[in-house]
Amino acid sequence: MQLVDRIVAPLRRPTGGATYGLAGAAPALVSFALVLVIAAQLASLLWRVLGAAEDGAGIAEPAVEVPSPGVDVAAIVNAHLFGVAPQSGDPSDAPATTANLMLAGTLAGREPERGWAIIGASGQSARVYATGASLPGGARLHAVYPDRVILDRSGARESLLLPRLSSGAGAGRALPRSAGMPPGAAPNASIADSVRQLLVQNPSAGSELLRPQPVFAGGSLRGYRVYPGRNRAQFAGLGLQPGDLVLAVNGAALDDPNRGLEILRGVGQGSAVTLTIERGGQQQQITVDPVAVVQELQAPVEPAQDEEPEVDDMSVVEDEEAAE
């Protein structure tokens, strides 16, 4: 109350009357008003500085998400900074090639990038090529499938298909079984046509019967070690045993992949096929009836319970015994 009395004391001085009191108190009123205004401004300033600090220590204000300049991953991916990887995808997506090439046969492995194919400008000039090899005309053999191959022509993927049979009466219907046909009774041309038609209708029929594995000794091809396909009974019906090393067919050594077409032609000309094999370290010969081969290829697949260990049919194997 003393402070208030001191402030309002000039207003109560009786010496000048009412007029004197107001006129003499004017400076004091102005000073008092300025003090109040300055005090209010200081109080507001102190509250903003100190009050905000005290409140922040006890009460956590809700976090406000400030949009940060994020990384646009999609934009980076779509930019293909390191190039575009070739897409294998479905081989049927590759357009048919316009190259003057003919596909006479394929030997496909589990991986399309590891296989062989018989390719040439014609049947007479066809040769055996492995994946990655350069073909006549500048194309490169990129992948091998049972019914087609994929060519790489200047970075573009093109497909080369096995030729289809002519549109005859027997081209579209199922092959008749030749179980009642005595061995060697069928004409050679009929056997060759039957095998060819069967492989066209079911390109994987050969791999269902057996799986060949190239064997090298000292860097040279020595032959093919054969294993049963999906049906061991069909494989055993040919007189073969798992792991047999086939060295020759009808006396023609299997030491040159480029002679494959020549050997196949020789097989088609005879009524029987003689295989020179190595079994248990000993060489022996077995005779395979082409009619029986057709029958086994046509037979329904019945997977055996005791399968041989999976072997990559296109892997390169070094024959240790031969190397020694």
How far from each other are the two terminal CA atoms of the chain, in whole angstroms?
A: 121
Q: Does residue 86 carry a pLDDT above 70?
A: no
Burial of residue 150 (CB within 10 Å: 0-12, 13-18, 19+) is: buried
- So what's the pLDDT on residue 139? 92
Model confidence over 172-184: pLDDT tens digits? Answer: 333 343 333 434 4
Q: What was the pLDDT predicted at 135?
A: 92
So what's the pLDDT on residue 152? 93
DSSP string, 61-96: PPP-PPPP----HHHHHHHTTT--PPP---GGGSPB
* Mean predicted confidence (pLDDT) in 69-93: 55
| CA dist., res. 300 & res. 208, Å (int) | 10
Q: How confident is the model at residue 227, as a pLDDT?
A: 86
H or E segment at 140? strand 140-144
How far is it between the farthest Cα atoms of the chain?
156
Considering the chain, what percentage of its residues have pLDDT values greater than 90? 9
Q: Residue 141: is its pLDDT beyond 90?
A: yes
Checking if the pLDDT of 188 tops 90, the result is: no
pLDDT band at 164 (very low <50, low <70, confident <90, very high): low
pLDDT tens profile 2-39: 544 555 555 555 554 444 444 444 444 444 555 555 55
Report whether 138 contacts 82 (CB < 8 A).
no
∠ CA 245-246-249, nearest 5°, is 170
pLDDT band at residue 79 using 50, 70 and 90 as cut-offs: low
pLDDT at residue 222 above 60? Answer: yes
159 or 308, which is more confident: 159
pLDDT at residue 77 greater than cutoff 60: no
Residue 208 has pLDDT above 50, yes or no: yes
How much is the pLDDT for 106? Answer: 78
Of residues 90 and 154, the one with the higher pLDDT is 154
Q: Which token pair is 263?
A: 């050997």
DSSP H or E run through 224: strand 220-228
CA 103 – CA 148 distance, rounded (Å): 8
The pLDDT value given to residue 179: 38
What value does the mean pLDDT take over residues 288-315?
53
pLDDT at 186 over 80: no
Rounded mean pLDDT, 206-235 = 77
Q: Using one digit for the tens of pLDDT, what is the confidence trace for 265-291?
A: 555 555 677 889 999 999 999 887 766
pLDDT at 150: 94
